[in-house]
Amino acid sequence: MVDAQQSMRAELDRLAPLLEPLGERFAAAGHALHLVGGPVRDAMLGRQGVDIDLTTSARPEETERLVTGWADAVWDVGRAFGTIGARKGPWQVEITTYRSEEYDPTSRKPDVAFGDDLAGDLGRRDFTVNAMAVNVADRSFEDPYGGVVDLAHGLLRTPGRPEDSFSDDPLRMMRAARFSATLGFAVAPEVVAAMTAMADRISIISAERVRDELVKLVCAPHPRRGLALLVETGLAGHVLPELPALALERDEHHRHKDVYEHTLTVLEQAIDLEHRLPGTPDFVVRFAALMHDVGKPRTRRFVDDGTVTFHHHDVVGAKMTRKRMQALRFSSAEVDAVATLVELHLRFHGYGGGEWTDSAVRRYVRDAGDQLERLHILTRADCTTRNRRKAERLRRSYDDLEARIERLSEEEELASLRPDLSGFQIMELLGIGPGREVGEAYRFLLELRMDEGPLGEDEAGRRLQEWWASRTP
């Protein structure tokens, strides 16, 4: 607790040049201004940030007037919810009027009512660890719901009854899972019980808000904790039903891995390999790890010898992934990236002991496109066998494949695989204009490039003319 107090003082000292002049403006106008929510929690945990949340007794229009002239930029897109945003140097500041909000049972948007009471404002927040505040003027600390104690115990509780909190905003149930994954905190039993009983309430929340919360959870330091909570409470059945479906019923006469547990292990192993990527956490590779086997429930077949097969689960899973991500309103680029990884995650297993031809390696690189590095990560992470010899054999095989890709890349510029002749050269050589035939010729040369590597313009031209003569009357 002493460490938390020291961390808070240090953070307030760091923020003083930003907050003290702003606090003076509000005090002169007769309004209180408090640092609130996540910044207070993070300060007590010794974490620093550049996004600052404040709450005030001032109404939005007065807040806007008070920050004008102090801030470098001001925006009011959150005015309907009582929030005015501002930028001051590197800092992003959001100042929200004391408020209370609740959902109509069939509405996706909250009805907002402004208040004049800090305790009431803190009482409407999601969890006690986010319901603490510090007065900007005198640094007095407000904690009416025991957030400090819960922070010390690593526990997520709601300020009031969890049923009331989740009824006001059902997305808070997903936030419980996200904060568990972010902070590594346990979730109070009564909160878990309310999440379980009210899981279907999440259906009134827009796909975009669910998506954003899911992204934050998947990109958290401990996503397995949050995902397991979503499955345990039944929330995953509403927002990501493909995940609980992986907990396949086991048949005593047939042998197969626990696909659900395997998937969470693959996710964790992918995270361990993220250092290979330029930016972390990487949502695409993490979500691909989470979705890579979602086609297995639909493709499971029992075999007489006691084994289970999942033929074509990669292709089926890619289609399911696209459908789910589109329903959650992900961008086309994100959908394409994740679905490509899911569809290709088994391709390596045809490599065996390195029997692939150079042509097959080129096609592997071409099909992966700009997802090649992520595919390396996913394929390596997908090895969860406890057989050390098998795991080592797979690792060496993939090391060999990567080495071959690197060698061919140096020799042939695989990253920009193109035919030896451009479209203009094709038209000039064949004496044809733009159209379908140019595309056919281009694809012929690209396949030739895949099979035999670079040929040079003269040889490619000769082979193109032979092909053209063989197909033209």
Domain covering 1-153, topology? Beta Polymerase; domain 2 (3.30.460)
CA distance 148 to 127: 11
Q: Which contacts of 409-416 are long-range, i.e. CB under 8 A and separated by 24 or more positions?
A: 409/365, 411/453, 412/362, 412/453, 412/454, 414/362, 414/365, 414/366, 415/365
Residues 6+ apart with CB under 8 A from 7: 43, 44, 45, 46
- At residue 415, the pLDDT reads 58
Look up tokens 């925006």; give the residue: 75
Structure tokens at 104: 């109509």
Domain over 159-240 is classified CATH 1.10.110.30: yes
- Cis check for the bond before 281: say yes or no (omega within 30 of 0): yes
Nearest CA to 184 among 148, 228, 249, 149? 228
- At residue 449, the pLDDT reads 82
Residue spans per domain, the chain: 1-153, 159-240, 248-416, 423-471
The tens place of each residue's pLDDT in the chain, 473 residues long, gives 558 788 889 999 999 999 999 999 999 999 999 999 999 999 999 888 778 999 999 999 999 999 999 999 999 888 888 999 999 999 999 999 998 755 566 665 666 678 778 998 999 899 999 999 999 999 999 999 999 999 999 999 999 999 999 998 999 999 999 999 999 999 999 999 999 999 999 999 999 999 999 999 999 999 999 999 999 999 999 999 999 999 875 544 445 568 999 999 999 999 999 999 988 899 999 999 999 999 999 999 888 877 888 999 999 999 999 999 999 999 999 999 999 999 999 999 888 777 898 888 988 998 998 999 999 999 999 999 889 999 999 999 999 999 998 888 876 666 567 788 888 888 888 888 888 888 888 888 888 887 888 888 888 889 988 898 888 65
Structure tokens at 303: 């075999």
Alpha carbon 148 to chain centroid, angstroms: 29
- At residue 257, the pLDDT reads 64
Instruction: Count CB neighbours of 470 within 10 A.
Output: 7
Looking at the domain that runs over 248-416, which CATH code has it been given? 1.10.3210
Task: Assign 269 to helix, strand or coil.
Answer: helix
- At residue 254, the pLDDT reads 46
